Amino acid sequence: MNVMKEEILTGLGMALNEARVYLSLTETGLATATKIADHSGIHRVNVYDAVNKLKEKGLVGEVTHEGKKCYVAAPPTALQNILKEKEIQLNKIIHELNLCTQLSQKQDVQIYEGYDFIRNMFLHFLELKGNIYAFSVPKFVIDKVGKYFQEVIHKRRAEQKQMMYHIYSKEAIDRIKYLNTLPYTEAKYLEQEDYNVTNIICNDEVALCVFYNNEEKKPMIIMIKNKQVADAYINHFQVLWEKAKKP
């Protein structure tokens, strides 16, 4: 029976000698180190070490009885306080642990290249039917993706009442004015030069489109499917949106 009790107490974080000393005190009541050693079978030097550790945990008290230093076990309900303390400590990090687990287990990252993929990506976003957020869009991408293709995308998007928000650099002012004439479309600009990395978000998917100074070089697209990441990018977009201007 004591073996099972020892296993439970060591599971709470006690060393084996600590568990044996505590159990000995619950059975003997008030006891000297010598009596604990005799009852538990632990060497007296090790008894002192275990007792000191148990005192630090609030599981053993020290009293003087008939001129001798004696020890007494705290009520077994004190063991429940250990569990509560462990739960409190765990709750401090549980949210972060959950987030790390979700990111490591559910994150889907894939890398593509080329404007053909960007076109297919927009077709996919139409199927998702969620709001589309695009920021840090360079002016030259308009021609590379194709104006006709974009007109088709915007038409289909409007038909299904799917909003799209754009943030360009000021160099694309004419494009911004045009987009603001379209239904379910809003566009603004920031006082910055053209960008090299465009961010596009729809539902829980994020596309990081890396464009190169050599416009003939195919862009690289990093697709991330993760709700926490997408929410973070949308929050960042909203901060930029407040700072951006309409022409």
Q: What is the CATH number of the domain that holds 44?
A: 1.10.10.10
Q: Tens digit of pLDDT for each residue in 117-164?
A: 988 999 999 999 999 999 887 777 777 777 777 888 899 999 999 999
The CATH number of residue 208's host domain is: 3.30.870.10
SS3 track for 91-130: HHHHHHHHHHHHHHHHCEEEEEECHHHHHHHHHHHHHHCC
Q: What is the pLDDT of residue 1?
A: 55
Q: Tens digit of pLDDT for each residue in 35-56?
A: 999 998 999 899 999 999 998 8
111 and 62 share a domain? Answer: no
134 and 222 share a domain? Answer: yes
Where do we find the tokens 């559910």? Answer: 106
Provide the whole-model pTM.
0.56
Token pair recorded at residue 10: 């060591």
Residue predicted with more confidence, 219 or 130: 130
229 and 129 share a domain? Answer: yes
18 and 52 share a domain? Answer: yes
Token pair recorded at residue 17: 């000698």
When divided into structural domains, the chain yields a total of 2
227 and 187 share a domain? Answer: yes
Q: Tens digit of pLDDT for each residue in 54-105?
A: 988 888 988 888 888 899 998 888 888 878 877 877 776 776 666 666 555 5
Spatial separation of the C-alpha atoms in residues 164 and 186, rounded to whole Å: 7
Asked whether the CA dihedral 42, 46, 48, 50 is positive or negative, the reply is negative
Q: What is the pLDDT of residue 129?
A: 93
